[in-house]
Chain A
Amino acid sequence: MNQEPPPAQAESWADSRPTPGAAPLPFAHVPRVTPRPTPVPKLCGGDIELGNFVAGDGIVGQTSGRAARLLLGAIEGYPVGAAYRAACGRDDQDWGRKFLRENGGCVYIDLDHLELALPEVLSAWDHVACWQAMLRLARRALDRANGGLGEDQRIIVLVNNTDGHGQSYGSHLDFLITRRAWDNLFVRCLHHLLFLASFQASSLVYTGQGKVGVDNDLPWVPYQVSQRADFFEVLMSIETTRRRPLVNCRDEPLCGSIRTPVAGAIPALDLARLHSIFFDNTLCQVSSLLKVGVMQLVLAMIESERVNPALILERPLEATWRWSHDPSLKARVRLIDGRETTAVELQLRFLDEAMTCFEQGGFDGVVPRAGDILQLWAETLARLKAKDYPALARQVDWVLKAALLQRLRDRQSGLTWRAPELKRLDLMYGAMPEGLYWTYDRQGLVTRLVDDAHIERFTREPPEDTRAWTRAMLLRCAAPEQIDSVDWDELWFSFQGSNGWPLRARVSLANPLRSSKATNGHLFNRAARIEEVVVRLNEASGVAADADQAP
């Protein structure tokens, strides 16, 4: 099901572009005075790394690099940065992003993992559909790539976050927040950061995929709730590949310059992006929706400075490990006020805070279908509290995976938790093509929140209510040789100018809330050439045409 268009608040932010030719503000040397805390719509994206390798006879050594290249080669899209390739002589699959004209997302290889980057959406339901759609594209590429291999070899794609050999790969979420909220989190208000870290730590109970054993030299447990928990080593940092933080402070807004604008740069928009590296790759749609939707709610609360310090954990990092290592959900850890709490109890307190915010209209125009998210959150926590595992096995990955592992142990008595069969089943839970989750999905044994048509649509079409729509339409207009570069907040094109000289022109998509179909749809028509569309878009955005022209 699709979402209603973003309400009035989205429109006001969508119109917050700079006035062309406006005089610089006086007292420009005075530190910026931030506006009052009004949340922006919680637009979200995601970038998901997959495990990939070649299995079969005669396979020797590590094959993840080969598998990733075969997979990327089987996905249609535009590799960008041809100039870089010419200069370096490198295979463009090693570094180039393939933006997809179908849905405005992109696919590339990162450290020998196929990575799927989702188009921006406003609603958590659309996010779940896009996530499933990108997996569907990867599955189709997998089938094509495997069709080119011999019968004794096949590529396996792991939809998880760790290989069982101490390596982890991410499942990142990205949320639009105000620059003020960013500054509060990382520069001004430490309790905002701790509030977020405490929320995330306790959210494992419905966002974990589950895992046999431990990583990173932590004490052995047979089974734990989260794939990623063991890999977090610090509270906050910019790192993503080592000493990973609970809360990542990479300041890469992808919505215009974060610096004082200089000639030719896109002006800053007082917007920022929270890059969350905390969560697992989830398959169950309830887990996936809560992972994104509840983060939208909590970030909206943080953004409007509704932060209750009583919910802050004394040691969020240790709590993450402790709660992940306790699938009985009994473990209690200390809050800063000295009281102890289970993860579910703490989540119920976050739910209470969010309900109060909802009653006061705090999510209006900020989080689509906030009431539905709250309802699902409350129901899931009630089931976790009651340990209603039959119901949870249809909705939460770590519970479903635990059930499958237990079934294997029941069938093969004597299997210990260190048996290779259990680890293999763990790896195969979300694997393609034969993962266990997909069997359950096909047979209707897991809860679906988005229907198949919704998912299939996002394999072919972009979300209509964010800049992903304009990005996809521009890629459809241009011939491949006309596309110079594509990034999330700008595209560059080369074509012949009206005077015959070669021309490079840029389209800015700096504000992710603008450039929706509603805003720009009338600027595209079937007969339009890219040259015309670029001019129309730049005129409509009030930005002077930004172009480099040969003499």
Chain B
Amino acid sequence: MPTKHRETHTPKTMNERERQPDDAGAGDPGCPEPAASGVNRADAAAFFAAADAAIESALSGDSARFNQAARQEGGQ
């Protein structure tokens, strides 16, 4: 938790922030590609394995029909 003297708070001024690199890494529509950088290969492998299992489960059957069935009444 930060102290009341900003010991753990990152940059103090906008100028300092603006000097930091603002890398892109944007994919097709500008989407992030979280595990693509391979910062932690074990994490990335677990991430992709879970993604593959979830995708398999979520996409069984006819997607267009599923999307049509999901139509809702308007809400708040």
Listed in ascending order, the chain A residues whose CB lies under 8 Å from chain B are 49, 51-55, 59, 62-65, 110-113, 156, 158, 163-165, 167-170, 172, 221-223, 240-242, 277, 326-328, 330, 345, 348-349, 352, 355, 358-359, 361, 369, 371-372, 374-375, 378, 382, 385-387, 389-390, 392-393, 399-400, 402-409, 411, 417, 419-421, 423-425, 427-428, 431, 434-436, 439-440, 443, 445
Contact = CB atoms under 8 A, between A and B. Distances in A.
Given A378-B9, A390-B39, A402-B34, A423 B67 contact: yes
Given A223-B31, A378-B8, 15 more contacts: A54-B69, A55-B69, A163-B71, A163-B72, A164-B67, A168-B75, A327-B32, A358-B4, A374-B9, A387-B23, A402-B31, A402-B33, A404-B51, A419-B63, A436-B55
A289 to B, nearest CB: 14
Interface string B31-46: 1111111011001101
B31 to A, nearest CB: 4
Contacts of B2: 355, 358, 371, 374-375, 378
B21 to A, nearest CB: 8
Contacts of B22: 330, 385
Interface residues of B, number: 60
Nearest to A168: B75
A167 B71 CA distance: 8
Contacts of A399: 32, 34
A407 B70 contact: no
Contacts of A170: 75-76
A169 B73 CA distance: 9
Given A372-B1, A439-B50, A427 B70 contact: yes
A459 B42 CA distance: 35
A53 B71 CA distance: 8
B51 A403 contact: yes
Nearest to B33: A406
B75 A241 contact: yes
Contacts of B11: 348
Contacts of B6: 355, 359
A385 B73 contact: no
Nearest to B35: A390
A169 B76 CA distance: 5
A417 B23 CA distance: 24
A408 B54 CA distance: 10
Given A359-B6, A393-B35, A436 B54 contact: yes
25 contacts: A49-B76, A64-B72, A111-B74, A113-B75, A165-B71, A169-B72, A170-B76, A327-B32, A345-B14, A375-B2, A378-B10, A386-B21, A389-B32, A389-B34, A390-B34, A390-B44, A403-B32, A404-B51, A404-B55, A407-B48, A407-B55, A408-B55, A419-B63, A431-B58, A443-B50
